[in-house]
Amino acid sequence: MTRSRSKYDSGCPVAYALDIFGDRWSLLVIRDMAVKGARTYGELLAGWEGISTNILAQRLKQLEQAGIITKQKDPDSGRSFVYELTQKGRDLAPVLIEIALWSGRYNPDPDAMTGFLDKITADRTGTEARMRAGERP
């Protein structure tokens, strides 16, 4: 955390959250881990949008410092690292779900939602997974 944390911290809960993932890429990284099950640097690099290497490395560091993810050596092979969501990170699933539901209502692309909610809810407790997906106006 070289800088900028708390620069915008007004005490508002939304500002607190945006301080952590309020940028172009952080939430996409979290999504790749929560929805696609991405666990390595390489898998994340190959994400749907194509993040570049320096940005990915920087975001992983920030997310780790914020307690959203952990980084460990691969237990099996010793080579390579494994990133995983913490509870704090997994608890962002409802946020991702609400965003996806909102997009489902307003994104003109009818294929965009395909498979998304199934996957993200699959590893969740289900507490807040009241799916009212097909509400396109």
Partner DNA sequence: CTGGATCCCAATAGATACTG
Partner DNA sequence: CAGTATCTATTGGGATCCAG
Which positions touch a copy of itself (CB under 8 A)? Answer: 8, 10-18, 22-24, 27-28, 31, 48-49, 67, 88, 91-92, 94-107, 109, 111-113, 116, 128, 130
Which partner in a copy of itself, DNA, none is near 40 (CB below 5 to 8 A by kind)?
A: DNA
Cβ atoms 38, 51 nearer than 8 A = no
22's tokens = 């309020």
33's tokens = 């881990």
Comparing CB distances to a copy of itself, the nearer of 79 and 130 is 130
30 vs 44: CA distance, rounded Å: 10
Q: Which residue has the tokens 């507490």?
A: 127
99 vs 94: CA distance, rounded Å: 8
Comparing CB distances to DNA, the nearer of 69 and 113 is 69
The three-class DSSP label of residue 69 is strand
Which partner in a copy of itself, DNA, none is near 111 (CB below 5 to 8 A by kind)?
A: a copy of itself
Q: Which residues pair with 84 in a beta bridge?
A: 70
Comparing CB distances to DNA, the nearer of 71 and 88 is 71
Quote the least distance from Cβ 53 to a copy of itself, whole Å.
17
Task: Single out the segment in contact with DNA by CB under 7 A; choices: 49-57, 101-109, 114-122, 128-136.
Answer: 49-57
Alpha-carbon distance values, 62 to 10, 20, 73 (Å):
20, 8, 18
Q: Which residues lie near DNA (CB under 7 A)?
A: 3-4, 23-25, 40-42, 50-55, 57-58, 60-61, 71, 79-81
